[in-house]
Amino acid sequence: MSPAVDPRAVESLLAFWADAGVDAAYADAPIDRLAEGAALLRARSQPQPVAAPARPVLVAGGSADVSAAVAQARAAAAACQDLDALAAAIAAFDGCPLKSQGARQAVFSRGPGDAPLMIIGEGPGADEDAQGQPFVGRAGQLLDRMLKAAGLTDRAFITNTVFWRPPGNRTPTPQEQAVCAPFVERAIALVSPRMLLLIGGASAKALLKRDEGILSLRGRWFEWTSADGGLELPALPTLHPAFLLRQPANKKRAWQDLLTLTERLDRPDRPH
């Protein structure tokens, strides 16, 4: 039998709630939150059955998926004996998740296949995705003007760390770059340039395996080494033209980098 309720206590409580601004109830019937909490504590104190361990589920970008995709890319790249075959292998490759995230086509390269300089940017943008060539938008037009001023027109083979446009032109992830890296390395081997120009922070970090920002890396020479250690080339990081369009005051730094690179590129080979 429920204990008797004092009407005066109920009236006093209702008056208190009214003075506090309470003018509506969330439920038609009262809920004993203390009893609910006590029941929950009792349930937690009871031993729970141990479920069988679930089989691991591989998600996109997981390490196992990345390793398998890298191995697939390495095998496909190694089979290519020229740049046309490499371009076809990249277009047919399904191991990079970017391919199925809205990109229209693979964007591989432009420039002579025997260029003494290879320029490696970050990834295609909207214009590149539409035209199928790297650095053809506003940033690419600025890059071309800079190369022309430095006497590097038709002396550079241009590509990116990834070959499909990231959604929203975001920076490619290290996993996406790792999957495409075997194709980049094969392109370097086939072109056989004398040196690399790494455009932007994402490119410099991926190729040089370093964590510093591009403002720290730019203008400094590094040695790029292939995954198997069979190739070594001098590499110079510099600022991305898209960054220069946003920060024109930094064009002087990028120009200094190009002058440094051109001087080394045109330096006579030392006699053996």
Q: Domain of 80: which CATH number?
A: 3.40.470.10
The model scores a pTM over 0.95: no
- pLDDT at residue 35, as a whole number: 73
As averages over each run of 10 residues, the pLDDT of the chain (272 residues) reads: 65 63 56 68 60 37 75 98 98 97 97 98 97 97 97 97 97 97 98 98 97 96 96 98 97 97 87 45
Q: Which residues partner with 236 through β-bridges?
A: 197
* Distant-in-sequence, close-in-space partners of 121: CB < 8 Å, separation ≥ 6: 134, 135, 158, 159, 160, 161, 199, 200, 203, 240
38 in a structural domain:
no
- pLDDT at residue 65, as a whole number: 82
Distance CA 152, CA 247 (A): 23
Burial per residue of 11-20, b for 16 or more beta-carbon CB atoms within 10 angstroms, e otherwise = eeeeeeeeee
217 in a structural domain:
yes
- pLDDT at residue 56, as a whole number: 34
Closest CA to 241 of 89, 120, 131, 139: 139
* Backbone torsions φ then ψ of 92, nearest 5 degrees: -90, -10
97 in a structural domain:
yes
- pLDDT at residue 42, as a whole number: 72
106 in a structural domain:
yes
* Distant-in-sequence, close-in-space partners of 169: CB < 8 Å, separation ≥ 6: 125, 126
270 in a structural domain:
no
182 in a structural domain:
yes
49 in a structural domain:
no
- pLDDT at residue 207, as a whole number: 98
32 in a structural domain:
no
For the stretch 117-172, pLDDT in tens is 999 999 999 999 999 999 999 999 999 999 999 999 999 999 999 999 999 999 99
Closest CA to 135 of 101, 243, 213, 126: 126
- Domain of residue 174: give its range: 63-265
* Backbone torsions φ then ψ of 54, nearest 5 degrees: -75, 150
Number of domains in the chain: 1
